[in-house]
Amino acid sequence: MTIDSIIQALGARIINIEDPKREITAGYCGDFLSNVISKAPADSVWFTVMNNQNVAAVQTLADIALTVICEGVEPDATLAARVKERGLNMIVTDLGVYEAVRKI
Amino acid sequence: MTALHLEFDVAGNNFVSAGSASDEVKKTLKMLGVDPAFVRKVAIAMYEGEINMVIHAGGGKAVVDIFPDRIVIVLEDHGPGIPDIELAMKDGYSTAPDAVRDLGFGAGMGLPNMKKYTDSMNIESTVGEGTTVTMVVNFAR
Ligand SMILES: Nc1ncnc2c1ncn2[C@@H]1O[C@H](COP(=O)(O)OP(=O)(O)OP(=O)(O)O)[C@@H](O)[C@H]1O
Ligand SMILES: [Mg+2]
């Protein structure tokens, strides 16, 4: 499954997308960053409601392919800027974490 | 013989700059052509240690030595120290305040992650004086 197809399935809003054709091979849901770091595999899609700049740090470190911020939460200004600056893939959906995962 | 020696000042309680030292080390290892699996381990372990200095110790210093076959990371702070290291190492143990939890920290998984992703990790801590964490990741199999 590609980033593209996830965006479509969720009808999500794009914060930044660098490589729409990147292949997603795993997934993780959670908000505690230390759990995400150790449990989200590389090339995964990460569902969260966290919206501060540490999300970008964790996404980079763990080589997470795509972050989906759920429940209509907007990334704060620092996070949005950092995601663009680092060329990370991030989208926002109004769906809850459970509903979002079900659609994929 | 040291191939590369790096030093970073880590600012306390600053979540904008938090993680920049580990980020820099990750970039350097990538540039040196280190296997991505090792780069990921190092980045995770160092990030957790760096964040701990930011949150729990009012900042500190990171000293990194990269050798052809391994990396040695020393994180030194002059924070409050850790009274019971064994307890602090337990999965889920955290003294992180609510304000920090709201940012996504405080799962109590940082130190366990550091242990999991390194080949050796040593904590020396004196209450009222500070903490020094030394981590080694071997690149060779
Ligand atoms: N450098 C440090 N100085 C003082 N205390 C520390 C330091 N590092 C860790 N601790 C103590 O050890 C506890 C456990 O650390 P650990 O990194 O495992 O969890 P955490 O930082 O609370 O949460 P998480 O890392 O999951 O976001 C901390 O809550 C804190 O009490
Ligand atoms: Mg921690």
Specify whether domain B4-138 bears CATH 3.30.565.10.
Answer: yes
The domain segmentation of chain A, as residue ranges, is: 3-103
Amino acid identity at B38: F
End-to-end CA distance of chain A: 9
- Mean pLDDT over each residue of chain B, to the nearest integer: 95
Q: B41 at the A interface (CB within 8 A)?
A: no
CATH number (3.40.1390.20, 3.40.190.10, 3.90.1150.180, 3.20.20.80) of A3-103 reads 3.40.1390.20
Assess whether pLDDT exceeds 80 at residue A40: yes
Sheet holding B130-138, edge to edge: B4-11, B59-66, B70-77, B130-138, B120-126
Q: How many CB pairs under 8 A join A and B?
A: 66
Nearest bound ligand to CA B133? 1
pLDDT at residue A97, rounded to an integer: 98
Task: Name, in order, each residue with C-beta under 8 angstroms of B139's C-beta and a sequence gap of 6 or more.
Answer: B34, B35, B38, B68, B69, B70, B71
Band (B47; pLDDT cuts 50, 70, 90): very high
Largest Cα–Cα distance in chain A?
31
Amino acid identity at A78: T
Assess whether pLDDT exceeds 90 at residue B95: yes
Q: Report whether residue B43 contacts ligand 1, using a CB cutoff of 6 Å.
A: no
The domain segmentation of chain B, as residue ranges, is: 4-138
Contact A42, A23 (CB under 8 A): no
Q: B40 at the A interface (CB within 8 A)?
A: yes
Q: What is the mean pLDDT of residues A47-76?
A: 96
The pTM of the full predicted model, rounded to 2 decimals, is 0.94
Band (B2; pLDDT cuts 50, 70, 90): low
